[in-house]
A and B are shown apart, each in its own frame.
Chain A
Amino acid sequence: MSDLELLKRKLQREQSARKQAETLIEQKSRELYEANQELERFNGELEVRVEEATGDIRASNETLGQRVRELAALNRVASAMNSVIELDRLLETIIDVAKEVMNAEAGSLLLKKENGQLEFQVATGPGGEQLRKAMIDVGRGIAGQVAQTGEATRIDDAYCDHRFDRSFDEKTGFRTKSILAAPIKVKDEIIGVVEVINKIDSEAFNNQDLQLFESFAGSAGIAMENSRLFEQTKALAEDLREALEQERRLSIEKDKMRAYIPKHVVDNISRNREEKLALGGKSIRASVMFTDIKGFTSISEVMEPQKVVDFLNVYMTAMTHIIQDERGIVDKFIGDGIMAVFIPADEDDNEALRAVQAGIRMQGRLAELCGEWHKTQTDVAQLNMRIGINTGEVVAGNIGSETRMDYTVVGDNVNVASRIESICRPGEVCISNSTYDKVKGSITADKLEPVLVKNRVQPVLTYSIVVR
């Protein structure tokens, strides 16, 4: 085979190979075109999906950003409002913060009063001062409607809203455009309405503003309730402090009183302390005792004053102890004399017997004291005491002046007791007929001559107790 023939065959093979290549390239081109078409379709879909996803993310971001701004604002609101406790200042703070957060020109806060009307408590912005204390009916105007329905509302153009009451604008010269109004609730009860007026940086408020403002009103309600509770707690604490102070003062008074009057009387007064102490008294049955030391005045004139005081303190202490032991009341000391009152604890209590037993014990105790003094104080060792007792109706109560009063007994029967003591023989216990009637079963007594008593026509029968 010639070289030419060989080259010709090679050329044929190469042409065949080129055709194969062209076919393959064409096929690959087609495949590539189809793949490209598929890729473009996929890209288109991908772009749509990416756009959708981007839109969703953007919307989520915007929502999230808005929510973050709202929460930050509410946090600032709650923080500002909770730092103010006093209600008037709190209301002003609420409006100041509301205006700032909602970017509003003016704001007002109305509270529901007892008569059911709403009263402007705070009103800021031009002409706001003129609105303070103005009243509106629930159901009237925007705020009135919000108070009635309990639902927040957004007004884009107040003058196009039939509910809007222009009279306040006419009164103040202010031009209301856009409004947000929300109820202030405490435990589901509507206690007022808060409003912000005229959005500063745009024509009107939007729905996000409304939602934020509703949350704001919720925080305001909580802050106001906190303020009310704080004031209530503060008042209770003050009452408690005063009560404790009163209790402390009474306790001191009670301790002081115990030095002068028997414990059970003091306790009785304490139990009835709710009743205001006042001048006046009431008629009660009582046995009244008077005592006196015979000739003490002349003895005391020659004794050293300190000795007189020392003697009287020992004597009075001993006698008082017995009187109180018999549940009597030392009404007063009259020089060396004692006036004591025995009041029945109840209808069955024989206070006359207690008085007589006290008298007998007092005479016995004085005899003992004289025995002791016989060795040391001869000048008082021979002393004798007179005791007179009468039983009957007396007037018991606070006698004196508004600033200085004594709880004591007065009346004719008191005078009789004093008179009996004055005619009593030293060392004796003399009792009236009325006293004797109550003790005669228990006590032995000698009847004495009747005695005349001032203001009594009939002489008074008396008895001398035999002191064993």
Chain B
Amino acid sequence: MKGVIFSEFLEMVEEEFSLKIADRIIEASNLESGGAYTSVGTYDKDEIIRLVTQLSQETGVEVPALLCSFGRHLFGRFHENYHHFFDGVETAFQFLQNIEGYIHVEVLKLYPDAELPAFDYESSDPNELVMIYHSARPFADLAEGLIAGCADHFGETLDIKREDRSHDNETCVRFVLTKRGG
């Protein structure tokens, strides 16, 4: 997993909680990297799981809620650093539908070794978008946080329903997104 995810996570912990908690979860997680992350590096995904788990224990907030919050945070950072992906995009659905065919393609150009999740789309109603998340990692909550962050960014309110279809080693979640008031 790219180092930027770790550094953004720790940054969020420092912002949302405190430097002290960030330090504590790093120390408690017994990380191979020692909690020193550079955005250009690549680290074991288990380290983020251990950090999130430690944060949950430290704060009493459930892991899914933490990952979801991290997703919202991450989307904001994404907008700051990669604003060109937003050019000409006016709605959350437009942006979300660009993830698989455009954004992931560009990410892979920059980081050929990046292990990205995949999305399938289903859409028959302009007010509804179905995104099916596939990943070898258990980060559907992070994906939900990103979707929610996207809706926040475009000033939209989306009802997000989840249907877990995970099996064996694959996490598969069907997100049904409905525009509220649409």
Q: Which residue of B lies closest to A14 (CB)?
A: B36
Which of A6, A20, A28 meets B36, CB within 8 Å?
A20
- B20 close to chain A: CB less than 8 A: yes
Residues on B with C-beta less than 8 A from A7 are 19
Contact yes or no, B37 A6, CB < 8 A: no
Q: Which residue of B lies closest to A9 (CB)?
A: B23
In the bound assembly, the distance between CA atoms of A3 and B23 in angstroms comes to 11
- B35 close to chain A: CB less than 8 A: yes
Query: How many pairs of A and B residues are in contact by the CB < 8 Å rule?
Result: 40
Q: Which residue of A lies closest to B22 (CB)?
A: A10
Contact with B along A18-46 (1 / 0, CB 8 A): 10110011001000000000000000000
The distance from the CB of B4 to the nearest CB of chain A, in whole angstroms, is 11
In the bound assembly, the distance between CA atoms of A1 and B36 in angstroms comes to 19
Most buried by B among A6, A13, A14: A13
Contact yes or no, B38 A1, CB < 8 A: no
Contact yes or no, A1 B20, CB < 8 A: yes
Contact with A along B26-40 (1 / 0, CB 8 A): 100000001111111
Which of A12, A14, A24 meets B40, CB within 8 Å?
A24
In the bound assembly, the distance between CA atoms of A7 and B26 in angstroms comes to 14
Contact yes or no, A21 B20, CB < 8 A: no
Q: Which residues in chain A, 315-354, are within 8 Å of chain B measured between CB atoms?
A: none
Residues on B with C-beta less than 8 A from A14 are 36
Which of B23, B35, B40 meets A25, CB within 8 Å?
B40
Q: Which residue of A lies closest to B35 (CB)?
A: A13
Residues on B with C-beta less than 8 A from A24 are 38, 40-41
Contact with A along B5-17 (1 / 0, CB 8 A): 0010000000000
- A270 close to chain B: CB less than 8 A: no
Contact yes or no, A16 B19, CB < 8 A: no
Contact yes or no, A17 B38, CB < 8 A: yes
Which of B20, B23, B26, B37 meets A17, CB within 8 Å?
B37
The distance from the CB of A113 to the nearest CB of chain B, in whole angstroms, is 85
Residues on B with C-beta less than 8 A from A16 are 34, 36
Number of residues of chain B lying within 8 A (CB) of chain A: 15
Q: Which residues in chain B, 141-175, are within 8 Å of chain A measured between CB atoms?
A: none
Residues on A with C-beta less than 8 A from B37 are 13, 17
Prevailing SS type, chain A contact patch: helix
Number of residues of chain A lying within 8 A (CB) of chain B: 18
Which of B3, B20, B38, B41 meets A6, CB within 8 Å?
B20
The distance from the CB of B25 to the nearest CB of chain A, in whole angstroms, is 13
In the bound assembly, the distance between CA atoms of A15 and B38 in angstroms comes to 10
In the bound assembly, the distance between CA atoms of A25 and B22 in angstroms comes to 27
Contact yes or no, B36 A13, CB < 8 A: yes
The distance from the CB of A161 to the nearest CB of chain B, in whole angstroms, is 71
In the bound assembly, the distance between CA atoms of A21 and B38 in angstroms comes to 6
The distance from the CB of A5 to the nearest CB of chain B, in whole angstroms, is 9
Residues on A with C-beta less than 8 A from B41 are 17, 20-21, 24
Residues on A with C-beta less than 8 A from B23 are 1, 6, 9-10
In the bound assembly, the distance between CA atoms of A12 and B39 in angstroms comes to 16
Most buried by A among B7, B20, B38, B41: B38
Q: Which residue of B lies closest to A22 (CB)?
A: B38
In the bound assembly, the distance between CA atoms of A260 and B37 in angstroms comes to 141
In the bound assembly, the distance between CA atoms of A7 and B20 in angstroms comes to 9
The distance from the CB of B94 to the nearest CB of chain A, in whole angstroms, is 34
In the bound assembly, the distance between CA atoms of A18 and B23 in angstroms comes to 18
Which of B19, B34, B40 meets A3, CB within 8 Å?
B19
Q: Which residues in chain B, 23-63, are within 8 Å of chain A measured between CB atoms?
A: 23, 26, 34-41
The distance from the CB of B72 to the nearest CB of chain A, in whole angstroms, is 24
Q: Which residue of A lies closest to B23 (CB)?
A: A6
Residues on A with C-beta less than 8 A from B7 are 17
In the bound assembly, the distance between CA atoms of A20 and B3 in angstroms comes to 11
In the bound assembly, the distance between CA atoms of A25 and B3 in angstroms comes to 14
The distance from the CB of B31 to the nearest CB of chain A, in whole angstroms, is 10
Contact yes or no, A18 B38, CB < 8 A: yes
Residues on B with C-beta less than 8 A from A9 are 23
The distance from the CB of B135 to the nearest CB of chain A, in whole angstroms, is 25
In the bound assembly, the distance between CA atoms of A9 and B34 in angstroms comes to 11
The distance from the CB of B79 to the nearest CB of chain A, in whole angstroms, is 24
The distance from the CB of A190 to the nearest CB of chain B, in whole angstroms, is 74
Residues on B with C-beta less than 8 A from A18 are 38
Q: Which residue of A lies closest to B18 (CB)?
A: A6
Residues on A with C-beta less than 8 A from B39 are 21
Residues on A with C-beta less than 8 A from B38 are 17-18, 20-21, 24
List 25 A-B residue pairs with CB atoms under 8 Å apart, sorted by A's residue number.
Answer: A1-B20, A3-B19, A6-B19, A6-B23, A7-B19, A13-B34, A13-B35, A13-B36, A15-B36, A16-B34, A16-B36, A17-B7, A17-B37, A17-B38, A18-B38, A20-B41, A21-B38, A21-B39, A21-B40, A21-B41, A24-B38, A24-B40, A24-B41, A25-B40, A28-B40
Nearest 5 CB-CB pairings of A with B: A16-B36, A21-B38, A13-B36, A17-B38, A17-B36
Given A18-B38, A28-B40, output 16 extra A-B contacts at Cβ < 8 Å.
A6-B20, A9-B23, A12-B36, A13-B26, A13-B34, A13-B37, A14-B36, A15-B36, A16-B36, A17-B3, A17-B7, A17-B37, A20-B36, A20-B41, A21-B39, A24-B41
